[in-house]
Structure 1
Amino acid sequence: MRLSSPATQQNRLKESAPARLSQEYHDYSARVGAGRSTEAVSRVISFCRERVATDGDQAKFLITKLNGSNYQIWKLKVKVLLMKYGLWDVVNHVKPEPTPQGWYQRECKAIAAICLTVEDDQLLHLTQLETAREMWQALQRLHERSSIGSRLSKA
């Protein structure tokens, strides 16, 4: 059995949480062959559920899933949910967690909250993204642009 040196252990601790999450997601994607198919989407959902499996309360979301026509309501409810669990700063990048491990765990929970509250067709827009912030911004760009367009066409 080979032991890591203290310097090696410190370097691992310094590794950024998003980088670890990204690596873990990419390892998972490679293992299951994730892509943009319906099967891949269900694999991403399973990945998200695995990440939040230790927090039973998180899995009981009472939020209508984002379906393309309810973005403003979904956005508010998920933001409140993330705030309730102390995860909004992960999405909003207000302040970094003092420890990489703490940030990583919170990043996983925020990703799960987003992934588990969108319909599968919306999840397709998230399959290649690696952080909760990237996912939130992608949905925001997609739906706020389409809401503005629909409001202008009704005027």
Structure 2
Amino acid sequence: METPTLKDIGHLTKFNGSNFQRWKCGLRLTLEHHQLIDIIDGTETKPTEVRNNDNVVTNAAQIQRWKERDVAARNYLFATTEDDLRDTLCTATTAADMYERIRNQHARTAADNRLILLQQFTEYYFNKAITSQAM
């Protein structure tokens, strides 16, 4: 695996709350390239410490490797999010948590947008019906 750098994402569109699909597509390609998808989707989780009879952690290298990959993924997520949306990400402890928060933000925005569109359609339909009857 190549060492990921933040210059890898300079060409990506930042998530602004309304462009989730475009942002997700570009980010996922970069994360796939650096083999970090399993980190953000939560399928690769932090290994549990395994201790030997002397109470020494025997898998410290795997834990450290996961931490490095998680930090790289969090950096990509944070760097590709607009400033005004970053506050909700600051308390996330893993990349999977960060990604879930962004997905939830998008879901709320999408639901709000659907409701607004439905209301506008209903008002338009109602006003058109009144106009048609008046003629």
TM-score by length of 1: 0.59
| Distance in 2 of aligned mates of 1:96 and 1:131 | 9
1:76 counterpart = 2:76: no
Residues 46-65 of structure 1: pairs in structure 2 closer than 5 A? 55=3, 57-61=5-9, 62-65=11-14
Structure 1 residue runs of 4 or more that deviate by more than 3 Å after TM superposition: 55-58, 95-98
Larger % of helix: which?
1
| Distance in 2 of aligned mates of 1:109 and 1:142 | 22
User: Where does structure 1 lack aligned partners over 5 or more consecutive residues?
Assistant: 1-54
Using the TM superposition, give the Cα deviation of residue 56 of structure 1 relative to its aligned residue in structure 2, in angstroms. 6.4
Q: Which has the higher contact order (CA 8 A, sep 6+)?
A: 1
| Distance in 1 of aligned mates of 2:109 and 2:46 | 34
Structure exhibiting the larger radius of gyration computed from Cα positions: 2
| Distance in 2 of aligned mates of 1:100 and 1:94 | 15
User: Where does structure 2 lack aligned partners over 5 or more consecutive residues?
Assistant: 48-61, 119-135
1:121 counterpart = 2:78: no
| Distance in 2 of aligned mates of 1:114 and 1:85 | 13
| Distance in 1 of aligned mates of 2:97 and 2:45 | 16
Q: Give the number of equivalent residue pairs.
A: 102
Q: Which amino acid aligns with 2:107?
A: E
Q: Which amino acid aligns with 2:106?
A: H
RMSD: 2.1
| Distance in 1 of aligned mates of 2:100 and 2:94 | 10
Using the TM superposition, give the Cα deviation of residue 95 of structure 1 relative to its aligned residue in structure 2, in angstroms. 3.3
| Distance in 2 of aligned mates of 1:58 and 1:153 | 37
1:87 counterpart = 2:36: yes
TM-score by length of 2: 0.66
